[in-house]
């Protein structure tokens, strides 16, 4: 079967690219011919520019600031950008590039099935959101399913009338979080939405090990800290508390923007990190912490001790923690009395493996047309 996928595959974001790779890889393991529709809006490209850019006044100002205040970061950040770009073009099976919804409509793409998802492609608050992520560009004769779509941390704030107009032609819909499922069902948008795992969890540790290789990027013991979209000082301060107690340095994938390395002497910048390097740093860390949903997923996959900082206010993290029985790995920003460093017992619930089985069943059932 020829399957097309549309998702946030070209966001230069670890979770976005790795979930696209995982869904592609899993579907191919089932014997399908899979390609990812290479939709890259200009808004998305603007969100992930090269380190130095002079195309606008704002980008010019930011680039000059980087040259003056943090010149040593420029070379590794260029390497980071190229690592993402290389992953996009060598690990993902993509079509030619489309930049607008009009280009997609004119392409007249032909598939036996179109899958939208995963990631927050149905979160209208995302800077790179587009109606294209509802597959409105394909002929009505092509069946569509949604796999593990997310509406972000707060689906209850979305416009239910809008979603009613864009999901009515779907053959089946599955959501990554229960709150997305509840929103769709309770507002009469779509019935019988299933909750499934993120695509990254369709692959096992051995699958990911093949991608990473055996050699650690960093030989010594360390804590790997990651939070999307630049340093978050509130979260970083909590990571530093953990580091002090464990007497370990913190490896941070992006130090630019941190007030001063003098304020965070335990933090060591390691900026040249693409999707594969991200996995390597998680797999070989002594402990992992930060405010990232996919950081939590890969910590679980690799059996690493971890803390999801601020996860008590993120519906995605709460849902995964409940499924895996790891609620005690949430490091709260609102109730710090609950924060204690303790050994990681691993996944303690059967719910996660049961949900993975249901996820595979959802795909198998809906791919048979």
What pLDDT, on the 0 to 100 scale, is given for residue 256? 46
Over residues 219-232, mean pLDDT: 89
Is 251 exposed, middle or buried, given 0-12, 13-18 or 19+ CB atoms closer than 10 A?
Answer: buried
Beta bridge partners of 174: 194
What pLDDT, on the 0 to 100 scale, is given for residue 226? 95
Q: Residue 160 pLDDT more than 70?
A: yes
90-144 pLDDT, tens digit each: 999 999 999 999 999 999 999 999 999 999 999 999 999 999 999 999 999 999 9
Task: Give the DSSP letter of residue 39.
Answer: B
Give the predicted TM-score (pTM) of the model.
Answer: 0.93
| Closest among 200, 203, 184, 202 to 192, alpha carbons compared | 184
Taking the CB of residue 337, how many other CB atoms lie within 10 A of it? 6
| First-last CA distance in the chain | 10
CA angle 264, 267, 271 (to 5 degrees): 130
234-291 pLDDT, tens digit each: 999 999 999 999 999 999 987 545 555 678 888 998 889 999 999 999 999 999 999 9
Cβ pair 351, 329 in contact under 8 A: no
């Amino acid at each position: 079967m020829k399957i097309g996928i549309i998702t946030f595959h070209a966001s230069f974001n670890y979770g976005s690219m790795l979930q696209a790779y995982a869904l592609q890889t899993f579907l191919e393991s089932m014997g399908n011919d899979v390609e990812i529709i290479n939709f890259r809006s200009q808004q998305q490209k603007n969100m992930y520019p090269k380190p130095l850019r002079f195309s606008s006044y704002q980008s010019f100002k930011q680039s000059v600031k980087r040259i003056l205040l943090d010149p040593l970061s420029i070379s590794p950040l260029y390497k980071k950008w190229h690592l993402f770009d290389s992953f996009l073009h060598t690990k993902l099976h993509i079509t030619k590039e489309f930049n607008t919804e009009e280009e997609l409509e004119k392409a007249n793409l032909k598939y036996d099935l179109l899958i939208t998802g995963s990631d927050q492609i149905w979160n209208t608050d995302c800077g790179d959101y587009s109606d294209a992520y509802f597959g409105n560009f394909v002929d009505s004769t092509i069946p569509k399913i949604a796999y593990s779509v997310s509406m972000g941390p707060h689906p209850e704030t979305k416009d239910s009338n809008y979603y009613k107009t864009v999901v009515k032609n779907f053959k089946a819909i599955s959501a990554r979080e229960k709150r997305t499922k509840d929103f769709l069902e309770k507002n009469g948008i779509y019935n019988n939405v299933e909750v499934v795992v993120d695509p990254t969890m369709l692959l096992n540790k051995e699958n990911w090990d093949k991608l990473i290789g055996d050699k650690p990027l960093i030989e010594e013991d360390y804590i790997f800290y990651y939070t999307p979209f630049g340093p978050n000082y509130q979260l970083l301060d909590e990571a530093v508390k953990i580091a002090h107690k464990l007497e370990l340095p913190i490896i941070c994938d992006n130090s630019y923007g941190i007030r001063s390395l003098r304020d965070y002497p335990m933090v060591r910048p390691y900026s040249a990190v693409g999707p594969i390097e991200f996995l390597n740093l998680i797999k070989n860390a002594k402990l992992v912490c930060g405010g990232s949903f996919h950081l939590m997923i890969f910590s679980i996959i690799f059996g690493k001790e971890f803390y999801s900082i601020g996860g008590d206010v993120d519906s995605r993290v709460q849902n995964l923690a409940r499924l895996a029985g790891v609620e005690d790995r949430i490091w709260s920003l609102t109730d710090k009395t609950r924060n204690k460093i303790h050994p990681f017992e691993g996944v303690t619930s059967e719910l996660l493996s049961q949900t993975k089985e249901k996820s595979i069943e959802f795909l198998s059932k809906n791919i048979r047309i």
